[in-house]
Each structure stands twice: as C-alpha cells, then as structure tokens.
Amino acid sequence: GAVVSQHPSRVICKSGTSVKIECRSLDFQATTMFWYRQFPKQSLMLMATSNEGSKATYEQGVEKDKFLINHASLTLSTLTVTSAHPEDSSFYICSARADRGSYNEQFFGPGTRLTVL
Amino acid sequence: AQSVTQLDSQVPVFEEAPVELRCNYSSSVSVYLFWYVQYPNQGLQLLLKYLSGSTLVKGINGFEAEFNKSQTSFHLRKPSVHISDTAEYFCAVSDLGSGNTGKLIFGQGTTLQVKP
C-alpha cells in the first residue's frame, strides 16, 4: 500500500511551452501533497504544499504564476510549468501525505525529469 | 525555523565495512526525524523515522539511527554495507508544532559509495 505515481516520468519540451505533471496517490487519500524540485547532485527543495480543494501554499521565491498547482481530488495533484525555459529543467518529485493515524507519513513519487530545450 | 546539516557530502567505504552518515538538525520546537534513500533517477524511499519513544530506531535494509536530543543529532549507521547500498541518503526533519503541515526540510544529502 501507499503508492504514489507520477506521469510522465520524462518529458522534453521546447522553450515557451507548458508542461503538466500529474501526481496520484493510488491506494490512499491525500488531502495534502507536496511538490519538490531537485537539481543534479543537490537536495530536494520544497516548492509548494498542495491542499485539496484550496489554493496551494508556495515557498518563498517560487513563482506561483509559473508553477501552477491544482489539487482537484483527494488522489490527484498537478503541477503545470508554464512558459518553460531551460533553467526550469530539473527533476520534479511529488509526495502525498497519508491521512491516517496520529502521524501522517509522506510517500514519494518516482519523479519526473523535465528537460526544456 | 528548522534546518538540517549533513556533515559529509560523500562517504566512500569498502564492502562489508561499517558506515555512519552524520546528520545534525536545528529547531526551536520538537521534531520528527527521517532518513531517506534515493537511487539514481528515482524518488525517495523511507529508511527509518523517529517520532517518539526509544531513541534507537531500526529501519529497513539493516540501517539504524540514534536520536540524540542534547547533541541535536540523528546519525545513520549500518554495521556491514553492501554494494547495493550505494545511493544518495537524505536526512529530513518535520516539526510537530501547532499548525504542523508535515512539511519536510531536507539536508544536503550524502553520497554513499560502496567499493568492492
């Protein structure tokens, strides 16, 4: 149990286009999901907290108009990178927080490799 | 605000030798502590976590970690490593304070390189 999927696993796009990445909790409900960005050989940086049915909470320095987050159901959050540029190329990882027990563990997706040409 | 420092960016070790990956944290409130492993081009897998209770925590793949509140440390150890343990390891902290969102703050990561 507690599986999180991401789609696509890899995407290559042209500069100026938009890319949507999906994060799904396959066997549990998650009112909260998180989006992280990871540059090569670096740690995960939290971009935003996605809350089902409400607006996402963005970390300082993350442009909310560029990284659009939608959490329309208890099992799906999407991250759309708008007007992508080469500097947006990165590994994007989502996690879903399981709504159970006194501690709500996060489960991570396998990541999406975005390359912007 | 919390922060996590992993003191070693790379740790080379020979197969079957013991290893310790160091992690120190800073927080003004009580925290949960975690160690995750990441294999190339993959997401994160939880190795172990400290929530409360016994300060010695055992995890998967033979790893264990000890929570030391006075030294604000949560070092990861394994008595005998395998080639398959070669990966990136991340220490993370999450606060328990009011309004806790479960947000994780990660350390910089330590690359464990197991040599034959």
pLDDT tens, position by position, B79-97: 999 999 999 999 999 876 5
Q: Average pLDDT over chain B, rounded to whole? A: 91
Mean pLDDT within A74-78: 93
Residue type, A22: E
Residue B15 has pLDDT above 50, yes or no: yes
Give B59's contacts (C-beta < 8 A, 6+ positions apart).
Answer: B35, B46, B47, B48, B49, B65
Residues of chain B with Cβ-Cβ distance to A103 below 8 Å are 32, 51
Residues of chain B with Cβ-Cβ distance to A104 below 8 Å are 102
10 Å CB burial of residue B108 (0-12, 13-18, 19+) is middle
Q: Cis peptide before A8, with omega less than 30 degrees from 0? A: yes
Polymer length of chain A: 117
Q: Is A4 on the interface with B (CB under 8 A)?
A: yes
Phi (first) and psi of residue A68, to 5 degrees: -85, 130
Query: How many Å is the maximal CA-CA distance in chain B?
Result: 48
Q: How far is B44 from chain A (nearest CA, A)?
A: 6
Long-range contacts of B60-68 (CB under 8 A, 24+ apart): B61/B37, B61/B85, B63/B35, B65/B33, B65/B35, B67/B33
Residue B100 confidence class, pLDDT cut points 50, 70, 90: low
A110·B43 Cβ contact <8 A: yes
Residue A89 has pLDDT above 90, yes or no: yes
Residue B98 confidence class, pLDDT cut points 50, 70, 90: very low
Residue type, A111: G
Q: How far is B50 from chain A (nearest CA, A)?
A: 11
% of chain B at pLDDT higher than 90: 73
Phi (first) and psi of residue B27, to 5 degrees: -160, 145
Q: Tell me the pLDDT tens digit for each residue of A4-46.
A: 999 999 999 999 999 999 999 998 888 899 999 998 888 899 9
Please name the residue of chain B whose CA is at the shortest distance from the CA of residue A42: B108
Give the residue from B4, B5, B44 with the most A CB atoms within 10 Å of its CB, the best one to mutate.
B44
Q: Is A44 on the interface with B (CB under 8 A)?
A: yes
Residue type, A68: L
B42·A111 Cβ contact <8 A: yes
Residue B68 has pLDDT above 90, yes or no: yes
Please name the residue of chain B whose CA is at the shortest distance from the CA of residue A47: B103
Quick one: DSSP state of residue A42? Answer: S
Mean pLDDT within B4-26: 96
CA distance A112 to A17: 17
A84: nearest Cα among A23, A24, A35, A11: A11
What pLDDT, on a 0 to 100 scale, did the predictor assign at position B101? Answer: 67
Residue A55 has pLDDT above 60, yes or no: yes
What pLDDT, on a 0 to 100 scale, did the predictor assign at position B52? Answer: 85
B106·A113 Cβ contact <8 A: no
Please name the residue of chain A whose CA is at the shortest distance from the CA of residue B90: A43
Mean pLDDT within A84-102: 87
Residue type, B51: L
% of chain A at pLDDT higher than 90: 69
Residue A65 has pLDDT above 90, yes or no: yes
10 Å CB burial of residue A27 (0-12, 13-18, 19+) is exposed
What pLDDT, on a 0 to 100 scale, did the predictor assign at position A100? Answer: 65
CB-nearest partner of A104 from B44, B45, B102: B102
Contact B67, B77 (CB under 8 A): no
Q: Cα separations (Å) of A66 from A18, A28, A62, A88, A89?
A: 9, 29, 8, 10, 13
Residues of chain B with Cβ-Cβ distance to A98 below 8 Å are none
Q: How far is B109 from chain A (nearest CA, A)?
A: 6
A33: nearest Cα among A54, A14, A51, A13: A51
Q: Which residue has the tokens 């328990």?
A: B96
Quick one: DSSP state of residue A75? Answer: T
